Chains A and B, each alone.
Chain A
Amino acid sequence: MSSPAREAILQRLRRGVATGPRPAPENPVRRFDWSPPERLRRFTAALTAVRGEVIPVGDDWPATLFSRLSAKGATNLRFAPATALGAELAAAWPDRGAITLIPHDQPIEACRAELFSATDASLTGCLGGIAETGTLVLWPSIQEPRLLSLVPPIHAVVLEADRIRSTFHEFLVAEDWAGRGLPTNALLISGPSKSADIEQTLAYGVHGPKELLVLVRVKGDTADPPPALA
């Protein structure tokens, strides 16, 4: 929509562009030839270094998650029931009495108070991981909304090991984010929330989750390259 400010700004910039230099094209981005086990190793090292917890799991991951959350004193777990992961969780949860499962299936307007003050932990899936920086890639969706991974003090994520790529750039390009179109919100999460604003000393759980648990599911032979992604 046109406005006087917009026109004035653009006009000044166009004058500048006519006289400006033409920069040279860029050089190519750094690539790594890491094997899947190497990627997992680097991912684990990087995330662990910033107090993320990385736990190898199999298909019995709900039991593993249950025992970890029990040890942390959590009394409930919020999750997305309408996902494959949610179905796996609900089917195999050891004890709903000890740790209640809360389906996160309402608009935020209906569950804001509960989410902010009465939720101990949440579970989401993710699109994959980035080995170079120990990063989880999340595309929140209708089933797994944005605040689910942000508000509760413990955030647990199931990551498929064969979905770990080497770099962020690789993710963007191999999965053609620009071409596919980005979701409302795409997220990179690389550890629990922290700040060094007081005397440059790290403190955790400032506003986002204080703890990040990554359950890495390794399927079959990790020496295989990851399958081509849709």
Chain B
Amino acid sequence: MPPEFAVRVGQALDNERLRRNLRRTMDGLVAKRRQAFPDIHELAVLRRRGKLIRAQALANLPDLLLELEANCERNGIRVHWAETVAEGNAIVLDLLRRQGARRVIKGKSMVSEEMGLNHHLEAQGIQAVETDLGEFILQLAGERPSHIIAPAIHKDRREIAALFAAHFPEYPYTEDIEGLTAIARRIMREHFGQAIAGLSGVNFAIAETGTLCLVENEGNGRLCTTAPDLHIAVCGIEKVIARLDQLPPLLTLLTRSATGQPITTYVNLISGPRRAGERDGPREVHLILLDNGRSRMHRDRQLRATLRCIRCGACMNHCPVYTRLGGHAYGTVYPGPIGSVLEPQLQGLERQGELAEASSLCGACGEVCPVRIPLPGLLRRLRAEGAGEGEDAGVPGRGSRRKAPQRLIWTLWRLTHAHPALYRLATHLATRLRWLVPTGLGPWARTRAAPVIAPRSLHELARAEGFAHE
């Protein structure tokens, strides 16, 4: 992993177009969020409420999942449980095969990305068609999303125009955004009109009423979950909330944190398949609850906070590292700060531990998280797990980041800094031999003038000036 990440980082930093796109877009999203929360006090109250709703749900997760299952089944929604991504994919495949579907239209779903669902289905001869405009564009490009809310954020209109011209030569070339949108709408219409199977994610699953809540701006989510005869919803087990009346505060936090909108164009509450007498809607609705490591993350008191996430994307919008790299450099399904906390836990520290270290711990993410996930603290905890220190949270790959050079450095550091006499000796030598100390070596000095060690330390100057030492 390390050489690959470093390579991707270099590529991203050298990509001027990408950096310009990202800077402009992140600045815009940051400004929009600020405008959407003009009252600091209200924001603080809302974030506290959001955290409590999510924390309560996680504290009661097994019971809530059972309640969700019972109410969904009572409503006619079939509930399936999948421990692994492979199990989840198998369930989807089986449902589609039984329907005789050769194609499934998809609303945007990060969980389906996590499952690698499209790839799995295509290998089995079933075409997965992305209908969200951003995902649709990426599917044409053969790329994965680079942001969890705005998947094609790294692309500009010229790149998209070229893609459309290549894939849909029957339409005249255009870089006009309205024109490109109209082309996508025409092409999607056919799919919506004919599809017999649709797949969606779930923003919130409400245990009290057995309801799936989906939010969107385009309308493709509603179309995917209404027009076909079969609707499959995939959902992480952490997405459940207890009561319907907890939805409004979470919704307003989600939409305002993500894009600065007071609400999305559509909020869709689905509580079952087509009932007797109803004239449209799917005949079957299935909910797949995916674990994929979440129940393991749930066990640790501190790391459980990771599961509070409502997938708003605010953390990555405010992250100086994400702003310079974009999502692809991370090489994971979930990028940015939440990705740097989630992916090492999902995939293990030996594969993704470096992500937890690729942060200056500036705290911008934690400051904006609508459900107050202490992201910098979790990053630090994962670094400790990587070094094999602190309480064992059961994260796969614990201790795998503890390498000999690091151990040596911190052993020497501890030696000098835990023993004042040794420390004073070391600093004395450093100041007297300062012109010999190689501060100009190493990655630091590639882009910075080397620091100069002072001729006398503060310890010395303080004594010389007569400051008492006790």
Contacts and interface: CB of A to CB of B under 8 A. Distances in A.
- A–B touch (CB < 8 A): the answer is yes
28 contacts: A5-B291, A12-B298, A16-B304, A20-B58, A21-B55, A24-B52, A107-B279, A108-B280, A116-B189, A134-B263, A145-B280, A151-B223, A181-B209, A182-B211, A183-B271, A184-B270, A184-B272, A187-B222, A191-B265, A192-B265, A195-B181, A198-B155, A205-B182, A207-B131, A207-B192, A207-B219, A208-B223, A208-B265
A93 B285 CA distance: 39
A173 interface: yes
B116 to A, nearest CB: 18
Nearest to A193: B219
Contacts of A17: 59-62
Contacts of B83: 5, 8-9
Question: Which of B49, B157, B298 has the most CB atoms of chain A within a 10 A radius of its CB?
Answer: B298
A150 B226 contact: yes
A33 interface: no
Nearest to A139: B269
Interface of A: 1, 3, 5-6, 8-10, 12-17, 19-27, 29-30, 46, 50, 105-108, 112-113, 116-117, 132-135, 141-142, 145-147, 150-151, 167-169, 172-173, 177-178, 181-201, 203-209
B470 interface: no
A188 B263 contact: yes
Nearest to A21: B301
Nearest to B298: A16
B184 A199 contact: no
Interface residues of B, number: 99
A87 B265 CA distance: 29
B365 interface: no
A165 B34 CA distance: 26
A5 B81 contact: yes
B81 A6 contact: yes
A190 B216 CA distance: 11
Given A146-B222, A150-B226, A196 B150 contact: yes
A30 B42 CA distance: 9
A134 to B, nearest CB: 8
A25 B211 CA distance: 23
Interface string B204-217: 00001101000001
A24 B53 CA distance: 10
Contacts of B137: 197-198
Q: Which 4 pairs from chain A and chain B are nearest by CB? A: A208-B219, A197-B134, A12-B295, A188-B267
B268 interface: yes
B185 A205 contact: yes
Nearest to B137: A197
A78 to B, nearest CB: 13
A25 to B, nearest CB: 8
Interface string B18-30: 0001001100110
A190 B304 contact: no
Nearest to B32: A200
